Amino acid sequence: MKILDEQELHNLAMNIVGKELEAKGWEFLAVNSQPKRDPQFVCVDSKRKKHFVVVRAISYPENPHEIDYVFMETIKQHASKFNAATYYAGVGLANAIDYEKPISSEEDYVVNYNGIIEI
């Protein structure tokens, strides 16, 4: 049984958030798949407004809805140089059989995600 590493968990979170952004009809201008290389998504909506989205894969028992507002303020300042809105997407991930176990490639997982949050 292969335990998912940080990059694999991040990619999983990116896929979840990416599907939401596609459903909104946003076009991807840039995608950064490296954890903590922010923002992960730079998008434009149908009105050509730019959006910077920071994605975090958060493992149980940490709370994916807790936002580091000090850090996000630095991203918001960077985004303002491009007239972009700033968003946080915390994706909580846990092993579906036992939340205390790590997530593996051979077992189901549960997702705790409430969508992107504008900062």
Sequence spans of domains, the chain: 6-118
Q: Is 1's pLDDT higher than 80?
A: no
* For range 71-76, the mean pLDDT: 96
Question: Which residues, 6+ apart, have CB-to-CB distance to 27 below 8 Å?
Answer: 43, 44, 45
Average pLDDT, the chain: 96
What's the pLDDT score for residue 89? Answer: 98
In the chain, pLDDT over 70 holds for what percent of residues? 100
Question: Which residues, 6+ apart, have CB-to-CB distance to 10 below 8 Å?
Answer: 33, 34, 35, 55, 57
Cβ–Cβ under 8 Å, residues 56 and 87: no
Q: In this structure, which CATH number among 3.40.50.300, 3.40.50.2300, 3.40.50.150, 3.40.1350.10 belongs to the domain 6-118? A: 3.40.1350.10
Which pLDDT tens digit goes with each residue over 12-58? 999 999 999 999 999 999 999 998 899 999 999 999 999 999 999 99
